[in-house]
Amino acid sequence: MNKDILITGGAGFIGRYLSDLYLSKGYNVVIIDNLSTGNIKNINFLKKKYLNTKNKIKFVRSSVEKYKLLKNEIKKTSLVIHLAAAVGVKTILDKPIQSMKSNLKATEAVLESCKLFKKPIFFASTSEVYGKSNKKSFVEDGDVVYGSSKKIRWSYATTKLLDEFMVLSYFNEYKLPVVVGRLFNTVGKFQSSSYGMVIPRFVNQAINNQDITVHGTGKQSRTFTDVEEVCECIFLLMSKKKSYGQVINIGGQKAISIINLAKKIVNLTKSKSKIKKIPYKKAYSSIYEDMNFRHPSTTKLFKLINKTPRLNIDQILKKIIFN
C-alpha cells in the first residue's frame, strides 16, 4: 500500500496537526504551501519531531495553482487533503478578490490533478457555507441563506460553496473519490490570532491584561471544535469508502456566546482584563455582516465513523491555555 499523502496548505494550523497525525500512523507526508498564511515553524516542528524516524516529510514552497508541480506531486501519492484556502475574516475583508480567486483556482487545480490519477481527495469546507440560516442545528442537506452581495463576508461563503459544487461534480461526472468536510470553528494550541481568530485573540489579550475586544453585541454564538479531534475525524472519514461523495459536518457539541467565551477566558487566565464591545462597523467596516448562531448536526458524521468530537469548550480552553 502506498502510504504517501499530500496536504495542501499543510504549513497552516490544521495542517500542522493533520500532518503530525498521519506521520504518527506511519505515512509519508508531502506539504505544498506558499506560506502566505502558513508558518515555516510548523514545518520545522514536524521535521524535528520525526527526524530519527523512517517517516519522510517533504515541504514544497509553492502556490497550489502551479498545476505542473502539483500534478507531479499528486501522481506519487495515495491521498490528497486540500486545506489550502484564504484564512480568516481579516484576509477576506482586506483581500476579497485575491481570496475568491485563490479558493476557486486552487480547488480546480487539485481536482484536475486528482482526476488524472484517480486519487481520493478530502476537501476542507467550512460552516460559513450555511450563511445566515436560522436553524438551531445545521444539517448537511439543509438550505443555505446569504446576505447582500455588498457584504464582502458572503464572498468567502459563496466561493467555498462553489468549491463544494465543483468537488461533488467531479464525483458525479468523473467518479472521483471525494469527501467534503464542513469544519466548525476549529481551534487549539498554536493557532494564530493574526487573521481574526477569536480564541487566540481573546487569550492573548487576557494574558496581557488588555481589554478583550468583543465585536458586536457578543450575543452571537459559535460551536468550537478541538483541532486534534477534527484531524482524527478526517483520518477516519478518508479510510472509509462509504464517505465518498458525502458532505459531512465536523463540529463540536455545544454553542457558546462570544461574550460568555470572553468571560470564561478571563476567569481561566485570572486576568484583570475588561471586556469591551466594539461595533462591527468600527471593527471591520460597513461591508461586514455576521450571523447569530452556528451549531452543527453531527448525526451523519457519527453514522459514518462511529465518532464525533467530544471535548467541550472548557476542556478545549484548558488545553490551549495550560498545555
Each residue's pLDDT tens digit, 4-21: 999 999 999 999 999 999
- The pLDDT score that the predictor gives to residue 110 is 97
Q: C-alpha grid cell for residue 64?
A: 497550489
Strands 79-82 and 57-61: unpaired
Task: Select from 308, 105, 151 the least CA-distant residue to 225.
Answer: 308
- For domain 4-187+227-251+295-310, the question of CATH label 3.40.50.720 is answered with yes
d(CA 16, CA 33): 12
Confidence of residue 195 (pLDDT cuts 50, 70, 90): low
Q: Which residue has the cell 520545522?
A: 44
- The pLDDT score that the predictor gives to residue 134 is 82
- The pLDDT score that the predictor gives to residue 289 is 74
Confidence of residue 198 (pLDDT cuts 50, 70, 90): very high
- If you average pLDDT over residues 100-104, what whole number do you get? 89
What pTM value is reported for the model?
Answer: 0.95
- If you average pLDDT over residues 149-170, what whole number do you get? 91
- The pLDDT score that the predictor gives to residue 282 is 78
The residue that leads in pLDDT, 285 or 54, is 54
Using an 8 Å Cβ cutoff, are 38 and 31 in contact? no
d(CA 212, CA 278): 10
Task: Select from 221, 280, 293 the least CA-distant residue to 93.
Answer: 280
Using an 8 Å Cβ cutoff, are 31 and 60 in contact? yes
Name the residues annotated as catalytic: 156
pLDDT at residue 22 above 90?
yes
The residue that leads in pLDDT, 75 or 156, is 75
- If you average pLDDT over residues 182-208, what whole number do you get? 92
- The pLDDT score that the predictor gives to residue 287 is 66
Give, in order, the Cα–Cα distances in Å from 279 to each of 150, 221, 264, 292. 18, 16, 21, 15
- If you average pLDDT over residues 170-187, what whole number do you get? 98
Using an 8 Å Cβ cutoff, are 14 and 230 in contact? yes
The residue ranges of every structural domain in the chain are: 4-187+227-251+295-310
3 state SS of 92: helix
- If you average pLDDT over residues 32-42, what whole number do you get? 94
